[in-house]
Structure 1
Amino acid sequence: MQTNFFRQIAKLNLTGDLQITLRPTTESNFVLSVLLNNEQCGDEARKTIPPLNLRGTAEELDNGFFESISMPLQTASALMVDMESFMKQLEETKRKSAMEKEKTDKEKKEKATKDKKYNEALQKAEELEKEGKYKDAWSALPKGSDFPEYADIIRKKQDEYERHFAPSLFTETTNENFTENQAIS
């Protein structure tokens, strides 16, 4: 009689090592212990999965072995594969979280450095303004293209400084002066 025991085990498509222990209890009865162990699973909880114990005569074990072990072992196998997948995803999440924190920290540091440069340039321009050096103050202002979030403030300061060193021909005070000068001539 040819048996297909190993082919049936292969059909179960289990992931891990299958350990089978047969212990006689009496002359005709046995306890069969079946344990699936997946060392690839990094979750230590896998060790809490108990072995499947079957009791019966040799004939009972022959007749009901695969029907009794198929579902529980496939469930245990899938559970350990899922646990390992979960552990890998958890590690990936931790790694990404660390990367995101590092990225956020780097962005904060870059923003702080950029803001410091902006504030230093603005302060220098305001000092020059107090000294009446409007052209120098205008030149000391940070570039709007380098600090787009402050572009409106920079543009207003530039306009304010320009009024002192390059008055417009079209402002009211200039037109009044022009009219007064024409009247004097």
Structure 2
Amino acid sequence: MNTNFFNQIAQLEYTGVLQLNISKGIENNLVVSVLVLNDACGDKAKNLIPSVTINATPQEFDEDFFQKITTPVQKISGLLVDMVAFEKQMDEVRKQSAMEKEKTDKAKKEQEAKDKKYKDAMAKVDELEKEGRHRDAWMKVPDATEYPEMAEEILKRKKSLSDKFSAPNLFASVDEISQPLPDKVEQSHLIEPEREVDSLGEQAI
């Protein structure tokens, strides 16, 4: 007897596994439940999807069983496929979110380390300035190119320190040495040799 049962099953459009449960009902009826399963779907909500259940006589099943289940099976299968796609999208979102969070955390840690380095350097500058070592303090001031957001503060601090060991103070003694000798000193140096000559002349006589 050729019923074409499996040929008609093959023509159904569904993704996953089609599970049929057949049990006997009252008055020679049959109860058939059709359940569409999709293992790719990890959403527990899929367990809430009901099976397609039909209670009819064997003759009625032979006449229009596939007409009754075709639309529900396609809808359930499509719903499960959509749930799988949604899960994949959510996984991608979570992945991207985790990557963004990792990037944010990394940038935050790098900024914190940079801020600490700046604060430590400026604390050393303060220490050296208190000790009167202004030139050493000036050398320890961070480079403004490394901290563009603090450039104004850095430049002001460098100028403040450089003013305390400026060139006029350092070379004041040299300027004093370069001043011309007084006239009296120069004249005394010119007269002294003549006295020596007279003295020698007197000794010679």
Bin for the TM-score computed over the shorter chain: 0.7 to 0.9
Deviation at 1:14?
0.9
Give the corresponding residue for 2:82.
82
Secondary structure of the structure 2 residue equivalent to 1:64: helix
Give the corresponding residue for 1:52.
52
Counterpart residue identity of residue 131, structure 1 = E
Alignment of 1:1-185 (within 5 A): 4-25=4-25, 29-166=29-166
Q: Which runs of 5+ in 2 are unaligned?
A: 169-178, 180-205
RMSD (CA atoms) = 2.7
Does the CA contact (< 8 Å) of 2:18 and 2:37 recur in 1? yes
Secondary structure of the structure 2 residue equivalent to 1:32: strand
Distance 1:119 1:62 in 2: 86
Distance 1:134 1:48 in 2: 77
- Count of matched residue pairs: 169
Distance 1:84 1:92 in 2: 13
Instruction: Quote the sequence identity (%).
Output: 47
Secondary structure of the structure 2 residue equivalent to 1:108: helix
Does the CA contact (< 8 Å) of 2:36 and 2:73 recur in 1? yes
Counterpart residue identity of residue 154, structure 2 = I
Deviations 1:74-104 (A, max 9, x none): 1111222222233333344334433333333
Q: TM-score, normalised by structure 2?
A: 0.69
Distance 1:13 1:81 in 2: 12
1:6/1:151 CA distance change after superposition, 3 Å: farther
Secondary structure of the structure 1 residue equivalent to 2:143: coil
Counterpart residue identity of residue 63, structure 2 = N
Q: Which runs of 5+ in 1 are unaligned?
A: 169-180
Q: Which has the higher helix share?
A: 2
* Larger deviation, residues 23-32 vs 43-52: 23-32
Secondary structure of the structure 2 residue equivalent to 1:36: strand
Distance 1:71 1:167 in 2: 95
Give the corresponding residue for 2:201.
none
Q: TM-score, normalised by structure 1?
A: 0.76
* Larger deviation, residues 128-137 vs 143-152: 128-137
* Larger deviation, residues 156-165 vs 70-79: 156-165
1:8/1:166 CA distance change after superposition, 3 Å: farther
